[in-house]
Structure 1
Amino acid sequence: MLTRKILILNGHPGDRSLSKSLSTAYRDAASTQGHEVRWHDVSEMEFDMDYGMGGYSNAKPLEAPLEQFLSDLEWADHVVVATPLWWGALPAKLKGLFDRALLPGRAFDTRNTSLMGVPLPLLTGKTARVLLTSDTPSIYLRLFYGNAIKKILSRQILGFIGVKPTRFTAFASATGASAETVEKWMRKASDLGRRAA
């Protein structure tokens, strides 16, 4: 079996969460299978979430956790992001991580653009898996909300920097899920981790 270099990011800002449990199950199974894994947990990372008004030419220096995340993102060939769906989007701290760390020169190149003016992505050759927890069933995400969260992550964030394809595994409804259901979800996350899928 081909081993992979996997970056796992638990994007839930709480120190205990279903997202953390799922990403931990993925991590443990991937490591046991012999994949190289690097772990990041938003709840343990200290950084200023606000990009501010400096602009790309005068961006804030990256704090050590953000620099390590970006270095590991450059290293990885597979990226796993576990996140809850909050107010139809990402938790603020996870969005702040993307705002601060995904900068020109490392994540994309504003000096080289497509015919439509889109910057050249610099983190190509990587795939992604999103472990998405929510109380909104997948069919409602698709029918009523047009899969907005999936489009944001797969096209406007990960795809923009060259990480594609992004595949999603949804775990819903999360609130009040039975112990049996959660255990089934943990087995699913472990299976994905073993296969580095």
Structure 2
Amino acid sequence: MRVVIVFNHPYSGSFCHAILNAVTKGLQQAQHDVVLIHLDNDGFNPVMTAADLKAFRDKSPVDSKVIEYKETLEKAEHLIFIFPIWWELMPALMKGFIDKVIFPGVAYDYTNESNTRMKPLWTKVKGVTLITTMNTPKILYFTLFGNAIKRAFMFGTFWKLGYKNRKWISLNMVKMVSQEKRKKWLVNLENKFAALA
């Protein structure tokens, strides 16, 4: 299976990088074809420009990275997103990815004249997995902050596009937990993705 990982974290010593390594190792053990989109290393520009907005209307992207990512994502059979949650939302590069790559003519098209119903163009994708880190306790994130990522990312983006197989792995209170617990998380992730079918 071709698995595309979309990754966003600028610091190579981060726990997100350790997650990326564990997930990649598990996928490779299962002999999946792994392709990495590393937004930080790619120099991806998250800003939606006037030219990008015109391209949105015309369903024809102008950003060379978006065009490159389109070719990669059209071959994906499973998507994995890995990023930290900062101030209850995704970092700017990941938000820019959603704005500029989840784009008509790239990720989806409309099925009616009023442009209200969408159909995904990444037709090979059978599942979407989101893996996030945060320091907020899970109960607070769900209750006080309204589960913002689930609403915006899992429902507001990928549910709208029509992907039924969506999973979110939330690792909470990362700074507060023991090194032993972090290691256990990484082993579990490696095993989980080694079993991905």
Instruction: Tell me which interval the TM-score lies in, with the shorter structure as reference length.
Output: 0.7 to 0.9
1:105: how far off? 1.2
Identical-residue share of aligned pairs (%): 23
**CA separation of 1:83/1:164 partners in 2, compared to 1, >3 Å: closer, same or farther?**
farther
Match of 2:149 in 1: 149
Match of 1:122 in 2: 121
Deviation at 1:63, TM superposition (A): 2.4
> Is the CA contact 2:28–2:34 (under 8 Å) kept in the aligned structure 1?
yes
Matched, 1:139 2:136: no
* Structure 2 gap ranges (5+): none
The structure-2 alpha-carbon separation of the partners of 1:115 and 1:48, relative to structure 1 and needing over 3 Å to count, comes to closer
The 1:62–1:160 alpha-carbon spacing in structure 2 relative to 1, beyond 3 Å, is farther
Q: Runs of at least 4 residues of structure 1 off by over 6 A?
A: none
Letter in 1 for 2:62: P
Q: Equivalent residue for 1:61?
A: 62
Q: Is the 8 A contact 1:133 1:172 kept in 2?
A: yes
- Distance in 2 separating the partners of 1:148 and 1:105: 27
**Contact 2:129/2:168 (CA < 8 Å) preserved in 1?**
yes
Structure 1 residues 68 and 15, CA gap change in structure 2 (3 angstroms)? farther
Q: Mapping of 1:102-121 within 5 angstroms?
A: 102-110=102-110, 112-113=111-112, 117-121=116-120
Question: Where in structure 1 are there 5+ consecutive unaligned residues?
Answer: none
Is the contact made by 2:133 and 2:172 (CA closer than 8 Å) also made in structure 1?
yes
Q: Secondary structure at the match of 1:149?
A: helix
Aligned residues: 192
TM-score normalised by length of structure 2: 0.86
**Secondary structure class of the residue paired with 1:16:** coil
* Mapped partners of 2:13, 2:163: distance in 1: 28
Taking structure 1 as the reference length, the TM-score comes to 0.86
Q: Which amino acid aligns with 2:120?
A: P
Equivalent position of 2:91 in the other structure: 91
Shift of 1:69: 2.6
